[in-house]
Amino acid sequence: MGQVSVTAQRVAARRLTFPRAPAPYGDPEADQRFSRDVAGPVAMVDPHSPMTVHLAARTAYFDRTTVRALDGGITQVVVAGAGYDGRALRYAKPDVWWFEIDHPATQADKVARLARLAIPTPHLTFIAADFATDDVGAALARAGHVRGTPTLFLCEGVAVYLDLVVIVSLLRALRSAAAAGSRLAISVSAATTEERRRQFQAAVGALGEPVRTILPAEAASELLASSGWRKLPAPTERLARSARAGFLALGPI
Ligand SMILES: C[S@@+](CC[C@H](N)C(=O)[O-])C[C@H]1O[C@@H](n2cnc3c(N)ncnc32)[C@H](O)[C@@H]1O
């Protein structure tokens, strides 16, 4: 993929319309400004469509997970397949270092937009990598990620665009960088109807970003376990609902 990710642009545009988890730190206005810039040329869509409803729930889940980890003292966040996610701005917190890994074309566009908007990112390291060909573990180490320090890894809306073998190598690379106390939040395929799945595949395929792996939550658990990650229990009904929607919380085995 030598072009910027249009699916990532669309997610950023839709997020502008969602309520976001509050935090007593960070710069939500910088995230809004950045996301508006990204959304500019993107046509808005039906706010009640199943995809928008799904993205709203996904955003809420990843927001809550991020805020909970930061409030709990996590000092490193790695966003894999970051796209135009603005959480590193929204939830910037003193003494927390963020790493964003993404395909070079999309990341270069993001960095250029941030510079044009004069949004400073001194707490954020950008790592340009293709998960299919690059050694993510080595790239993280080179970028200054500290392996011995617990880390929150976010992998939102990415797995579906990767071949199974690439998902496994990414998960293993993240695991190799995960000290005890680390957390991984990942979205996999939601339990949905065949028809909706077909619609989604057709829509993103038309944007040049074909679905490569449908990974239902149950199959994902096995794959994650074989990659060194264990699913964390979902003690509340809200977390159980999130897991059914394909939003999984894991810790290193
Ligand atoms: C749907 S977007 C999600 C972006 C972001 N996580 C979010 O939720 O807003 C998918 C992202 O995965 C990235 N991606 C897809 N395939 C990739 C690959 N092989 N290597 C690195 N990044 C990839 C794209 O560049 C894009 O930013």
CATH of the domain at 82: 3.40.50.150
Please write the tens of the pLDDT for every residue from 34-49.
999 999 865 667 778 8
Yes or no: say if 141 and 147 are a contact pair by the CB < 8 Å rule: yes
pLDDT at 146: 98
Residue 191: per-residue pLDDT: 67
Residue 1 is assigned to a structural domain of this protein? no
Given the CA of residue 10, which atom of ligand 1 is nearest to it? Answer: 1
When pLDDT is cut at 50, 70 and 90, the band that residue 5 belongs to is very high
DSSP symbols for 76-143: EEEEET-TT--HHHHT--TT-EEEEEE-HHHHHHHHHHHHHTT---TTEEEEE--TTTS-HHHHHHHT
The atom number, within ligand 1, closest to the CA of 59 reads 8
Pocket of ligand 1 (CB under 6 A): 5, 7-8, 11-12, 81-85, 102-103, 106, 130-132, 156-158, 161-162
pLDDT for the residue numbered 43: 61
Distance from the alpha carbon of residue 38 to the mean position of ligand 1, in angstroms: 15
In a domain, 52, yes or no: yes
Q: Is residue 119 part of a domain?
A: yes
- What confidence tier does 175 reach under pLDDT thresholds 50, 70, 90? very high
Residue 204 scores a pLDDT above 90: no
The total number of residues shown for the chain amounts to 253
Is residue 42 in some structural domain?
yes
Q: State the total domains in the chain.
A: 1
Q: What is the pLDDT of residue 13?
A: 93
Enclosing domain of residue 126: 6-252
Residue 154 included in any domain? yes
What φ, ψ does residue 101 adopt, rounded to 5°? Answer: -110, 130
| AA letter at 23 | A
* Measured distance CA(2)–CA(29) in Å, rounded: 30
Side-by-side strand order, sheet with 247-252: 124-128, 97-102, 76-80, 152-155, 183-187, 247-252, 229-231
> Residue 161: inside a domain, yes or no?
yes
Where residue 170 falls among pLDDT bands split at 50, 70, 90? very high
Query: pLDDT at residue 235 above 80?
Result: yes
Residue 29 lies in a domain: yes
Q: Residues 72-122: pLDDT tens digits?
A: 999 999 999 999 999 999 999 999 999 999 999 999 999 999 999 999 999
The label of the residue with tokens 């658990």 reads: 221
Over pLDDT 70: what percentage of the chain? 97
CA of 83 to the centre of ligand 1 (A): 5
Per-chain mean pLDDT for the chain: 93
User: Whose CA is closest to atom 13 on ligand 1?
Assistant: 81
Whether residue 22 is contained in a domain is answered as yes
Question: Looking at ligand 1, which atom is closest to the CA of residue 131?
Answer: 20
CA of 193 to the centre of ligand 1 (A): 24
Mutate to test the pocket of ligand 1, among 1, 4, 5, 174 (most ligand atoms within 8 A of CB): 5
